[in-house]
Structure formats: structure tokens, C-alpha cells
Structure 1
Amino acid sequence: MVILQMRSTLLRISFCWLISSQCAWAAPGGTLPDTHEYQLSNGLKLIVREDHRAPTVAHMVWYRAGSMDEINGRTGVAHVLEHMMFKGTDKVKSGEFSRLVAAVGGRENAFTSRDYTAYFQQVEKSKLDDVMKLEADRMSHLNFDDAEFLKEIQVVMEERRLRTEDNPSSLLYESLMATAYMSSPYRHPVIGWMNDLENMKAADARDWYRSWYTPNNATVVITGDVDPLAVLKSVEKFYGVATPKELPVRKPQVEPIQKGVKQVQVKAPADSAQLAMAWKVPKLHPGTLDDVEPYALELLTAVLDGYDNARLNRTLVKQERVVDNIGVGYDMISRGPELFLIQASLAKGKTVSQAEMSIRKALRELADKGILDSELQRIKVRILSEQIYKRDSIFGQAMEIGTTEIAGFSWRDIDRMLDKMQTITPAQVQAVAKKYLVDEGLTIAVLDPQVRQSVQTKQGAQ
């Protein structure tokens, strides 16, 4: 099981216009792979992408239910339910799901984010019906007892201890999000607050399952060496029998406009201090694909941190040596509000003030002087090379389709986004840096490193 909560640090779409009039999805021979969309009578959406380069298939089920749909007191339940989905149905015993997938030579897993929960299997094409039958079964017939839940909630709490409470970078990010957002549910960690996990009951997970795990809240994405009509027939056979339900009302929870700098300090055992700076910025909205600013912000991330010699790494790591590493994150499509995030680990002997000053100087220089067209073109070529590698993956194709659909867009919008991206100019990248990377929408989080206690010291204090 995987939790997805950090922002992407590179563009998730490719600049296919750089190489030809065809998209980077193009299969050998210059032909575009066919993509087919179907809607079942029970509301389930099916998207099938043909890619016949290898006899494998990726099968994914995406539920539009993530941590942003949780309520106070039950944070983390989306991720907990992800764990419980492997605990059996009336037909499949606890633990058997993974064994049965492995028995047909497949691999499988699941992941939860703020926006969704997704499950996948990757198998040889003749085994697609086998895994489809398993996944469709647990969409409607999950059945776990309280004892199974009590064991698994302990696993989740230990996961939180290891990945968050014993990880200074994760603690800093968690506090940053909780400080930056006032009303948006993005302020809660995907794994949930520990107190909520400690008080969670099996009934909470069952309620979540009954509320959101329904065909009219799901998208099935299948990519690989398949025949679309044969896939549709199987999906109708296995998923078509699922009964749709009325979904809970989703409240808007619009984030209030920030009116000044917010700051938070975290004290935790660590080897060095860390600094995170996050600005409120716009995202792309369905129906407004021509909005320039989100594309410019995506490109700005690459200007600052898109390659080894990008501006922040070159200046702060190599030249000034004020930080050991630095990263930038932004994602222009999501269900909730967005941040433009810069996070750095300080070099030995350097202060947070020095690091912040260097970051601000680099941003001010970009806002004042802009970037060269040649610099932007080099960045696009670098990103393209990384995207081509990703597009070679059957699983990568399914991931991109799924995340695009869950954010409220269509897989058909990807080409339009690509077309729009090619029109972005250096002046537009400069403009978003000048407009949004300002104090009015800034949240600063600082990790104050504490001396790590040895095991002997901890035991002596008990």
C-alpha cells in the first residue's frame, strides 16, 4: 500500500509537439494508439487504451474518494479502507487476493491520495479476466470482521510512526499543509492524525466503503494488448452487476484568501535544519484549458528545479553551498487547491535565514530579469526525454489517464493541454513568478533539528 501526498516535481504531460505533429503516445510506425471510452448503465466509466507492443495489460480501478472527502475525527479512513480491501469477500478469504494475483504471474498494489484511492494489477493479457473478476468482487462484496480491522489499524499506526513521526521531512510537510490551509481538507495528512487512528472503529471503514465504493464513483482504466470490445464485454459481465448508490453530498470547502505570511516551526530529531516555503497559486480547471497561468507555473518548476543545473540547484547547492539539496513541487491538475512548494535541507553551518535569503534572491532575479527563450526550450527538451520513457510503460499510461480523469478532466484533454503548453513564453513564466511568489500567499515552515537520542538513552529514561 502506498500513500501519495507530495506534489509532483516535474510536468506530468509531455511536449509531443517538439518531435512531430503526433503525440508522444504514438506507437511505432507513427500511429496513435486507439483509446475508447464507455459508460455502463450502472454509472461505471471504462477507458481502454490499446498498446500492442507487449502481451501485457494494466488493469486499474480508480475511486473518486480520497482523504479530502473525510470529515474531522475520521481522518485516515480512506487509507485504512485501502488496507481492508485486501481482507476478503464472501468468495475470497483474507490474504487470498494477493496470492491469487501472484498465482497468475501478476503484480498488484493500491495507493491512496488526497483526491482518490486506486487499485491495480498488471498481468499477461490472457489473465485479465481473472484479476477483473477479483477486483469487481471486492467492489461490491467486501467482508471483514472486527478482529481483522483491529490488527490492520495497528499496522497503519505503525506506518504513520515510521513514515511521518520518525521522518523529519514528513513532519515538516505535514505541519506546512496544516498551517497553509484553513478550511480545505488538504490540511489533513492522507494517513490521518494519530488520535483519529487510535479511535477509529471497524464501522468507520465499513461506512466509508458503503458511501464511496460504488460503480457510479469509479473509473476502470485498462491499457495494453487488448481488444476493446472484448474488454467491454468482460467489464459488463463482472462490473455491470454492481448496484449504483447515491453518493454523499460533497461540500465545496473553498479555501479563504490568505492575507499575509504564515509561519510554523517544528522541533524534531534530525541531522540538519530544513526550510519549506509554499505559495498559494492557481490550478487548471476543467472547461478552462486555455488558462495560461497553470502551464506557466508548471514550466516555472522546471526552470527552478527541472534538471541538475537548474537555477536553485546551481545557485544554492553548487555555488553558495547554503543547502545540501533543494526541490520544487507543483501540480496543475487536482481536485483541491494548489501550492507552489520549495523545500530545502540546509548545509552544515548554514542558517535558515541564509537559505531563505538565497531563495528569495533567486526568485527576485527571475521575476526581474526573466528567462531566455533558449533556456525554456532546453527545459522542454529535457522534460520530453523523461516523458518518452514514461510513455513506454503500460502502467504509466494507465496512471496518466486515471489521474487526469479523477481531477475532473478527460483523457481527451491531454492533447489540448499539450497544444497549449507549446504556446507558453518566457514572459509568461516570468509573469507568474512575479505575481504569485509574494508574501501575501506565503507559508514558511522551519525544521529546528534536535539531538537524536540513542536507544540506550531512551530506555534509561523509561
Structure 2
Amino acid sequence: MTGRRSLDDDGGPYVRPLIAGLAAAMVLTLFAPRADAGLFDPQTFTLDNGMEVVVVPDHRAPVVVHMVWYRVGAADEPKGKSGIAHFLEHLMFKGTEKIPPGEFSRIVAANGGRDNAFTSQDYTAYFQVVAKDRLPLMMEMEADRMVNLRLDAESVATERQVILEERRQRTDATPQGQFGEQVQATFYLSHPYSEPIIGWEEEIGSLTREDALAFYEQFYAPNNAILVVAGDITAEELKPLAEKHYGVLPANEALERPTLPHEPPHRAARRITDSDPRVAEPSWQRQYIADSANWGEPDNVIALQVLGDILGGGSTSRLYRALVVEQGIAASAGAWYSGVNRGPGAFGLYATPARGADIEDLERAVDAEIRRVIEDGVTQEELDRARTVLLAEAVYMRDSLSQGARVFGSSLVAGLTVEDVESWPDRLRAVTVDDVVRAARANFRPEASVTAILSPENPS
């Protein structure tokens, strides 16, 4: 895995606004329309050893995306072993008895494909994009390393240094990365989402071969994995291949995914500030602990998606119009919502002050917009516009061959079902103005928030 990048290791919640467009797109399509609407039309089956299989047919080109999602991520790590899930993701490229170290990706490339992997708080996933006739080879190799990983002390030590350097480049080398870790750690009181996916530097340095193998043997098994294949194939075609390569693997009968700790009630608003001469412009952000698919009130998830678009979905959103266009005190402003996960959700607001504007005035203006939603609600026109945008973006995502695979993989590892995914448009259409306002009032609680300000220099 040397030189690869874990795509979902984004450096923490502070930098999430920088990729808000991409993150929002993922959230918008984490629930796809019903099968009879013809958006993804998934086909499913389960192997005898417990491995779930989802097929997303797309016959526009003779290409497939082959993904294996493990129900294990950074939130499942033993205390004091932060980064072990991401570390193992790297080590999975170190070889088996059949495939020497470094050969996995070379073989994929030699067959005209590309591959990578990524780790999040809730999952670890591996994928290859190849021509359809190369799929059996990809399945054979992925099944092999699911149960036959071989690690030696030298390769583990080398990869540990690679990850430490990755951390230095992506986190320690930037004030935003460093600050983001501190914000994330402040945001949660006891939940493991407070730990950085890449791990704390001191703990990464102490990870051993034995730590990696113990984590691997505990969690890497077919009954803790989901196979998702999207592209020019049907379930009828895939099933014999899945049975041949994955169905013969033994289930881990002792498998037990850790129960995530309950996040206690937040009773006091928190603030975190920092300054650094490398910062060009000050930035402001606030995050609220929010309802999610598995925490709080799951029925509020879709209403919060709608609220995110109304408040921060581009140049027509409330925050942009009020702060940038009308008052001229912000250069940018927006919102994001993350709610498809195993633990608490998060609703974020962010803004960058216009040149010469006071960041305290900026914060007061954001607070005023939040009060407007809570006290005066939203309009039917705003709801209709947001709903249209969300449905349209879900449809447009069909143009990406891999999007369907990512939608179902990330949803299922979070504990949702295929039907949850398929029923999203119907539930979106059923959302009312009252639902949006009720979700805002339930989630915009000052005591459940963290406000973060990063400045160019210490205030005088």
C-alpha cells in the first residue's frame, strides 16, 4: 500500500468544509431510489458463510467495479491502538503465499485495471476497476488475502514509517490538519469517533506485527464482509463466481463486532481557537452533535439532509445569501451534514470572513440565521427546491460506475438495509416543512456544539 491514500481519512471535521461538495454528494446518494424507479436496480444474495453480496448492473461498458467492504474501522480499534485499522489496510498489500509483496497492484495494473483502498471510522474497503473478463482474477486475489495474509517484521516496520510520513504530510504539516484533530477530539465526549482515523503519532509508532495480525484475524472474515460488484454483470452471472472464490472461505464463528460506547449527553457549549502564521485567512466553523441513522432520532436524517441544502447548499442557500450577498461580511459560507454512520451524526456550519470583516460579527450573523430557522421555520418553496436538488443529484450520480457500489457498501456497513437505500426518494418526498423545523430545533442545541476559529496570528 506504499504511496496510496486512504480516501476517507480526511483529516478530521475541521477540514471537512473544504470537501463539502464531495461529502454532500455522498450523503445525498447514500440512499438511492426504489428499484422500480430504475436508478440502481440492485440484486442481492447471501453466501452460506454469511457474506452479503450486492450487484448493481450497469451494461453501458464491459467494465466492473469489484469492492469488498469490511464492517470494521477506526471506531473498532482497541484503546491505545489508534490507527490499526488504517495500518492493516496498508499491510493488506504485503502479500500472501500466492502473491508476493507488492504484486497485488502490479497484477491489477498488468490486467488493465486500477485498485485502491480506504478506511473510515466505520469500515475498511478495497476495490478494483477492471474489464469484465478480469473479474474472476480480482475475486481470486481478494479472497486469497482475506484469509491468507502473510506479514514479516521488516515489511511491517517499513509500512509503519510510511504511515508516519503520511501523517506528517497530511496532518502535522498544516495548521488546518493539526487544528482539525483537536476539534474532532473536542467534539466527542467519549465516543471513539474522537480518534483520528490515521491514528495518533505516538500510538502509530508502537503498532506491531502482532497488533495487525490480531486485528486481521478478529475482523477479516466473509461473515464480516460485503461484496459489492457494479457494472456489466448480473447476480445470475456473479453468484457462481462468488461461491467459487468467497463461498469456500470459512466464517469466523467467534466474530463479535465491538459495541460502540454511548455518547453521553452534551451539557455545555465548547469553543476551541488557535492561530498560526501559515494561515492566510481566518475561518469559522461550528458543529452540532446530530441525529443519525443509528443514533438519536433516525427519522430526522432526511429532514436534516434537506436542512443542510436549505442552509448551505450553494449560492441560493440562506447562509450564502445572508452573509455573502446581502451583508457582505463573508467570502464564503455553507453547511454540511453527516448522518449515515453507526455513531452520532454531525451537522456543520462554516464561513470565511470577507476582507476587513470581524469574525465575531460573522458568528453573530450565523447565529441569527439559525434562530430564523428555529423561530420562523422554512418555506414550502425552500423545501421544494432542496428536494428537487437532492433527487436530481442522486440521479446524476448514476453516471459514475463506482457510485452505486459506494452507496450500498457505505450504507450496509452502517447497519442500513438495501430497502432503506431503495426507499429514500419516497421518504424524501414525504418530508414536510414541519419535519425540517422539528429536526432543526432538536439538533441546533448550543450545549451540543463546538465552535472552532482558526486565525492567522494571535489577536493583539
Tell me the TM-score normalized by structure 2.
0.90
2:192 maps to amino acid: P
Q: Are positions 1:174 and 2:181 aligned together?
A: yes
User: Equivalent of 1:262, from 253, 270, 288?
Assistant: 270
RMSD: 2.3
Question: Can you give the 5+ residue segments of structure 2 that lack an aligned partner in the other structure?
Answer: 17-22
CA 1:206–1:348 in 2, change beyond 3 Å: closer, same or farther?
farther
Q: Per-residue deviation at 1:152? A: 1.3
Q: Are positions 1:72 and 2:76 aligned together?
A: no
> Partner of 1:192: helix, strand, or coil?
coil
1:266 maps to amino acid: D
Q: Per-residue deviation at 1:16? A: 8.0
Q: Distance in 1 between matches of 2:32 and 2:162?
A: 43
CA 1:42–1:160 in 2, change beyond 3 Å: closer, same or farther?
same
- Range that drifts further, 425-434 or 148-157: 425-434
Aligned to 2:39: 25
Aligned to 1:359: 366
Aligned to 1:121: 128
The answer to whether the Cα contact below 8 Å between 2:332 and 2:353 also exists between their aligned partners in 1 is: yes
Q: Distance in 1 between matches of 2:191 and 2:77?
A: 11
Q: How many residues were matched structurally?
A: 440
Q: Are positions 1:377 and 2:384 aligned together?
A: yes
Q: Per-residue deviation at 1:365? A: 1.6
CA 1:231–1:380 in 2, change beyond 3 Å: closer, same or farther?
same
Aligned to 1:319: 326
The answer to whether the Cα contact below 8 Å between 2:114 and 2:129 also exists between their aligned partners in 1 is: yes
The answer to whether the Cα contact below 8 Å between 1:58 and 1:120 also exists between their aligned partners in 2 is: yes
Aligned to 1:252: 260
User: Equivalent of 2:421, from 414, 435, 442?
Assistant: 414
Q: Per-residue deviation at 1:299? A: 0.6
User: Equivalent of 2:282, from 261, 269, 273?
Assistant: 273
CA 1:45–1:102 in 2, change beyond 3 Å: closer, same or farther?
same
User: Equivalent of 1:50, from 53, 57, 65?
Assistant: 57
CA displacement 1:180-230 (0-9 Å, x = unmatched): 211110010111111111222222212211111111110101111113223
- Range that drifts further, 234-243 or 321-330: 321-330
- Range that drifts further, 362-371 or 91-100: 362-371
2:50 maps to amino acid: G
User: Equivalent of 1:144, from 151, 163, 167?
Assistant: 151
Question: Can you give the 5+ residue segments of structure 1 that lack an aligned partner in the other structure?
Answer: 27-32, 452-462
Q: Distance in 2 between matches of 1:126 and 1:319?
A: 57
Q: Distance in 2 between matches of 1:16 and 1:410?
A: 11
Moved over 6 A (4+): 14-17
The answer to whether the Cα contact below 8 Å between 1:14 and 1:418 also exists between their aligned partners in 2 is: no
Q: Per-residue deviation at 1:449? A: 2.6
The answer to whether the Cα contact below 8 Å between 1:67 and 1:188 also exists between their aligned partners in 2 is: yes
> Partner of 2:37: helix, strand, or coil?
coil
The answer to whether the Cα contact below 8 Å between 2:230 and 2:404 also exists between their aligned partners in 1 is: yes
Q: Per-residue deviation at 1:434? A: 2.7
Q: Are positions 1:13 and 2:13 aligned together?
A: no
Q: Distance in 2 between matches of 1:242 and 1:149?
A: 25
Tell me the TM-score normalized by structure 1.
0.89
Q: Distance in 2 between matches of 1:345 and 1:157?
A: 31
Q: Are positions 1:430 and 2:429 aligned together?
A: no
Aligned to 2:100: 93
Q: Distance in 1 between matches of 2:414 and 2:299?
A: 18
Q: Distance in 1 between matches of 2:354 and 2:64?
A: 45
Aligned to 1:284: 293
Aligned to 2:142: 135
